[in-house]
Structure 1
Amino acid sequence: MQIRATAVAFALVLAAGSAAAQAPRSYILTTATTGGTYYPVGVALATLAKVKLQTTEKIDISAISSAGSTENVKLMRENQAQMGIILGLVARNAWDGKDEFAQVGPQKHLRGITSLWSNVDHHVQRKSLTKTGTLEDLKLLYGRKYSMGARNSGLESLNKFIFPNLGVDYTKFDLVYQGYGPSADSFNNGQIDGTNASAGIPVASVTQIFAKAGKDAVLLEVTDEELKKLDGGTGLFFHHTIKAGTYPGLEKDVKTSAYTNFLAVNDALPENDVYLVTKTIYENLPFLNNIHASTKEMSLERAMSGVPLPLHPGATKYYREKGLTIPARLIAN
């Protein structure tokens, strides 16, 4: 009788453990405002997880809009979100506790899953207020209204980083803080004279501007010297060419700056869940490619490119399984 009772108890423990392992897990993926690239790609990632993982693995991911990268770090720190799309510059500052994160300190809860796509800077300016067609023309906007991006967004942080490096005193602009869509509306309505829509190509808000403003809008070029200056020695920025025809009326190629953004996750998430998410992403890239063109940049070969902080062990497990070498700087302690 004692043996049988023990066996039953053991079976119950196993059953309980199995049930716990299969308990539903719901995660929030925070993105940015709806006019850029973060939101539609975040929705695509969440939809992919629902299709591939919700029934079989009981993993559900929901995407939400936000102000952008800086707020995403905060939401993840407070566990209001467990995953987030973050641009590399903001993530580096967060990990080190610098600049916009100086008061809250290093954000060591962050881990990387994968590089996603390049954010391409679209410095849009009214043509009547340009002279050289390069970033030098930003100084012609002193005293005029300029949209820095939404408050607490990665775009705001980006602009506040690169403008001083370029010798552009953004405090001399008449600053407004709007997301991508509202900035496009304001430009087309004559309420602002410039903005930087930094996102994966094509950017809906830039299409909106060129479709309505036409030749009254121009994309500023970034020269080799300007790229070196705006990078500030970080090595995070590189040149990217926006091809003619990408936007209505864009008749020539425009060389601008770009940088990587990536999918981050809280370090507390189970290794196997992050492994399954990483695996699902790379086994279903065509699904993502069909939803947003920017994801066509994604590949296993560049999965770790531009990731500025350690990978989550679940992502590391998948990459090693695929035969990739993990750089020492990306291995979590």
Structure 2
Amino acid sequence: MVKFTKNVAVALVVLAMSASTASSQSTDYVLNTASTGGTYHPVGTAISTLSKIKLLPTEKFSLTAVNSAGSGANVQALGAGTADFAILQGLYGSYAATGTGPISAPQPNIRSITMLWQNVEQFLLSNEYVNTGTVGDLVAVKGMAIGMGKQNSGTLGSNTVLMGGLGVDIDSDYDLVFAGYGPTVDALANGQAVGAGMPSGPPTGAITKLMASNEGKFTILNVTAEQATAMDGGRKLWVPYTIAAGTYPGQTSDVSTIAQPNFLAVNESVDEEHVYLLTKALYENLGFLQAIHPATNAMAIEKSVGGLPVPLHAGALRYYLEMGLDIPADLIAAE
């Protein structure tokens, strides 16, 4: 009995040592996402799952997706070192780079890996007030009821920035309707609001509902190149985007607008080889990601660096150069 106990004890020690050795030979990075009910967390889980299947067995590292309060909290977590990777709204990446908005100081530690999917800016206006068919018509309806998002929402924040670029202070120039997308389109349909800004991935269900039940009454406004430059305000964040004809009921022509990226961010201190291998794995296994969540259907190597607000991590940069991409100078970090 004593002999058996000693053998078991020895075996347990050996197992523990083996586990410790295996653990020390692999790295598990934290990937911050957002709440479990949105898109960030399932996309983050898809990336995490890919890393555990494709990278952990051979390269000895992986990512674990954890939920969070979203982009603002993720910027803080990257700065504090409690997260290594994070999914961020492009605007918050810009805030982090410049120390503006809700971010009190520049965060030079944050680097980008890839654009993930885009938040497409969709501005709607009652046809009664449509003149040019562009967002310039929204400037002309100052004093009227406009839906620009819930209070304290990312939608309200981005609409504040965009309309500010056109000289509109939405807080003082509009009678704001603070509501989500469903109640906003109800307010439009009922005549309680004349316009709205509803960034999302088209087709957006609420807009589809509005256009289907109010044929000929509302227009999705175009954004001209000049307007796009003014709305971006030098951030180099928003990029051109076309909402194809037929995306919405009654939409007979393309709508030219802009979109900002949701992107995968990483701390500069993360190993260059690991970021290189992760970037490579993402683009060599897009079908895997797209099977888990359709938001990643927007990913393509030719779109990978469009609208990124912070410089690329050295590992991601290496992969894109190998793939022959032209990298804008502002995405190459200073030595």
Q: TM-score, normalised by structure 2?
A: 0.74
Tell me what 2:164 maps to: 164
**Contact 2:29–2:83, Cα closer than 8 Å, also in 1:** no
Tell me what 2:333 maps to: 331
Tell me what 2:6 maps to: none
**Contact 1:188–1:213, Cα closer than 8 Å, also in 2:** no
Tell me what 1:64 maps to: 67
CA deviation string 1:217-238 (max 9, x = no partner): 4311223442333233444444
Q: Distance in 2 between matches of 1:28 and 1:125?
A: 39
Q: Distance in 2 between matches of 1:266 and 1:234?
A: 21
Shift of 1:283: 1.0
Tell me what 2:257 maps to: 256
The structure 2 residue matched to 1:21, chosen from 22, 25, 29, is 25
**Contact 2:149–2:198, Cα closer than 8 Å, also in 1:** no
**Contact 1:210–1:248, Cα closer than 8 Å, also in 2:** yes
Shift of 1:323: 5.9
Residue type of the alignment partner of 1:164: G
Residue type of the alignment partner of 1:166: L
Shift of 1:120: 2.1
With over 3 angstroms needed to count, the CA separation of the structure-2 counterparts of 1:301 and 1:140, relative to structure 1, is closer
Shift of 1:271: 3.7
With over 3 angstroms needed to count, the CA separation of the structure-2 counterparts of 1:323 and 1:312, relative to structure 1, is same
With over 3 angstroms needed to count, the CA separation of the structure-2 counterparts of 1:245 and 1:267, relative to structure 1, is same
Gaps (5+ residues) in structure 2?
A: 1-15
Tell me what 2:7 maps to: none
Q: Distance in 2 between matches of 1:315 and 1:80?
A: 22
With over 3 angstroms needed to count, the CA separation of the structure-2 counterparts of 1:210 and 1:63, relative to structure 1, is farther
Shift of 1:96: 1.8
CA deviation string 1:4-35 (max 9, x = no partner): xxxxxxxx999966540225x25233257956
Tell me what 2:10 maps to: none
Q: Distance in 1 between matches of 2:51 and 2:241?
A: 31
Tell me what 1:202 maps to: 203
**Contact 1:274–1:315, Cα closer than 8 Å, also in 2:** yes
Tell me what 1:95 maps to: 97
Shift of 1:131: 4.4
Shift of 1:165: 1.9
The secondary structure found in structure 2 opposite 1:140 is coil
With over 3 angstroms needed to count, the CA separation of the structure-2 counterparts of 1:52 and 1:122, relative to structure 1, is same
Shift of 1:209: 4.2
**Contact 1:147–1:177, Cα closer than 8 Å, also in 2:** yes
Q: Distance in 1 between matches of 2:290 and 2:200?
A: 16
CA deviation string 1:94-124 (max 9, x = no partner): 21213443xx210122111112344321113
- Structure of higher CA gyration radius: 2
Q: Distance in 1 between matches of 2:19 and 2:322?
A: 30
Tell me what 1:247 maps to: 248
1:146-185 pair list within 5 angstroms: 146-148=147-149, 151=152, 153=154, 155-171=155-171, 172-178=173-179, 182-185=180-183
Residue type of the alignment partner of 1:144: A
1:118-157 pair list within 5 angstroms: 118-128=118-128, 130-138=130-138, 139-140=140-141, 142-148=143-149, 151=152, 153=154, 155-157=155-157
Tell me what 2:224 maps to: 223
Tell me what 2:286 maps to: 285
Tell me what 1:186 maps to: 184
State the number of aligned residues: 313
Q: Distance in 2 between matches of 1:278 and 1:197?
A: 31
**Contact 2:208–2:248, Cα closer than 8 Å, also in 1:** yes
Q: Distance in 2 between matches of 1:18 and 1:250?
A: 57
Residue type of the alignment partner of 2:50: L
Q: Distance in 2 between matches of 1:149 and 1:265?
A: 29
Cα RMSD over matched residues?
3.8
Q: Distance in 2 between matches of 1:208 and 1:51?
A: 40
Q: TM-score, normalised by structure 1?
A: 0.74
Whether 1:106 and 2:110 are equivalent positions in the alignment is: no
The secondary structure found in structure 2 opposite 1:199 is coil
With over 3 angstroms needed to count, the CA separation of the structure-2 counterparts of 1:249 and 1:292, relative to structure 1, is farther
Residue type of the alignment partner of 1:183: Y
Q: Distance in 2 between matches of 1:152 and 1:281?
A: 30
Q: Distance in 2 between matches of 1:48 and 1:215?
A: 45
Shift of 1:301: 3.9
